Amino acid sequence: DAKTTQPTSMDCAEGRAANLPCNHSTISGNEYVYWYRQIHSQGPQYIIHGLKNNETNEMASLIITEDRKSSTLILPHATLRDTAVYYCIATMNRDDKIIFGKGTRLHILP
Amino acid sequence: KAGVTQTPRYLIKTRGQQVTLSCSPISGHRSVSWYQQTPGQGLQFLFEYFSETQRNKGNFPGRFSGRQFSNSRSEMNVSTLELGDSALYLCASKQHMNTEAFFGQGTRLTVV
């Protein structure tokens, strides 16, 4: 799995869009970008994943650059309940294990 | 449908004892993985089972073991507990490759 780099922490005002960056400059062509989040003391929760194209679901949008070396997770209207650690993972996902990094601790400010 | 269920939610054990944790995956999911989460090391992969076979193992000592039953339910066992084994143990299930993992709420183990 490719190494990913994320900021340690970020703040976002409630109601604004939260944009969480992830660098994966060594990603290979068949590696997907997955995002999970973990709210304090709960199990991680899947958010979204993509390969090349931008993706959107009811939770978030995933923007992947054309060269696939970085991506951005967008929470369109952040609420206090979005306060969590967000993990970006680049994986071929062949063997069903997830290698988590340190993630980004997102603080939503009222 | 029901999510991933882990039992028990909380557990206190004494050094030297052994412990067994249980995970019931989402119905129809055949892959079950286990993770350990500590403040110092973060989320670390322990092992993964598919159709009763261990397919992957993380870098943990042999005191950590697991198994999967024919109904996909899984157990993990830690023998000769050490203080450093205190952690949140998480189980995740997947339907098949290239799909998302669904995590349980975890079992918080405290070793005293």
CB contact under 8 A, A46 and B48: no
Single-letter code of the amino acid located at B30: R
Nearest by CB to residue A42, choosing from B97, B101, B105, is B105
Give the residue from B87, B83, B79 showing the smallest Cα distance to B35. Answer: B87
A69 CA to chain B: closest CA distance, Å? Answer: 20
Contact B78, B61 (CB under 8 A): no
Model pLDDT for residues A2-37, shown as the tens digit of each residue: 889 999 999 999 999 999 999 999 998 888 999 999
Q: Mean pLDDT across the stretch B54-74?
A: 95
- Distance of alpha carbon A80 from alpha carbon B85, whole angstroms: 32
Q: Which residues on neighbouring strands pair with residue A55, listed in sequence order?
A: A62
Q: ∠A76-B99-A90 over CA atoms, to 5°? A: 70
CB contact under 8 A, B97 and A98: no
Environment class of B92 (CB within 10 Å of its CB; exposed 0-12, middle 13-18, buried 19+): buried
Model pLDDT for residues B66-101, shown as the tens digit of each residue: 999 999 999 999 999 999 999 999 999 998 766 889
Model pLDDT for residues A43-98, shown as the tens digit of each residue: 999 999 999 989 999 999 999 999 999 999 999 999 999 999 999 999 876 666 88
Residues of A with CB under 8 A from a CB of B: 32, 34, 36, 38, 41-46, 49, 87, 93-102
